[in-house]
């Protein structure tokens, strides 16, 4: 797992951690079933407060990307695969709609990029 926290960023540290882990899960870089470091270990590794790491994990768990199995630890759930499949399905639907509307590919991509920035 590769995570870095930029203390000078406008993005809060917990969000930097959360988004980095989420991206690695949805891209497949973190496989389903992969064990994540403990909150304390992650906090120590990144030089952040344990509460910051815990908040990132809580938000990931609420979205279903990770799951805590008691004393066994925290693991990547299969929701990452499901999320990627749902996103691919939505992208295919979007592509069909924009093609039917006659929207050029470059414009369709610009619409997506603008939506992702929002």
Per CATH, the number for 13-76 is: 1.10.10.10
Neighbours of 52 (CB within 10 A): 21
pTM above 0.85, yes or no: no
Question: Comparing C-alpha atoms, which of 76, 60, 77, 48 is closest to residue 19?
Answer: 60
Residue 30 CA, chain-centre distance (Å), reads 10
Give the pLDDT confidence score for residue 89 in this predicted structure: 87
Give the pLDDT confidence score for residue 117 in this predicted structure: 87
pLDDT, one tens digit for every residue, the chain (118 residues): 889 999 999 999 999 999 999 999 888 899 889 999 999 999 999 999 999 999 999 999 998 899 999 899 999 998 756 777 778 889 999 999 999 999 999 999 999 999 988 7
In the chain, % helix, strand, coil (3-state, to 5) comes to 65, 5, 30
List the chain domain ranges: 13-76, 81-117
Give the pLDDT confidence score for residue 85 in this predicted structure: 73
């Amino acid at each position: 797992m590769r995570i870095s926290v930029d203390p000078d960023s406008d993005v809060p540290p917990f969000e930097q951690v959360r988004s980095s882990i989420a991206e690695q899960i949805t891209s497949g870089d973190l496989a389903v079933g992969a064990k994540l470091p403990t909150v304390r270990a992650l906090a120590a590794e990144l030089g952040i407060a344990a509460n910051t790491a815990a908040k990132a994990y809580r938000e990931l768990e609420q979205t279903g990307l990770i799951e805590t199995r008691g004393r066994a630890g925290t693991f990547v759930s299969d929701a990452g695969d499901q999320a990627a499949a749902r996103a691919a399905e939505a992208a295919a639907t979007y592509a069909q709609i924009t093609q039917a509307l006659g929207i050029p590919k470059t414009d369709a991509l610009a619409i997506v990029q603008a939506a992702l920035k929002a």
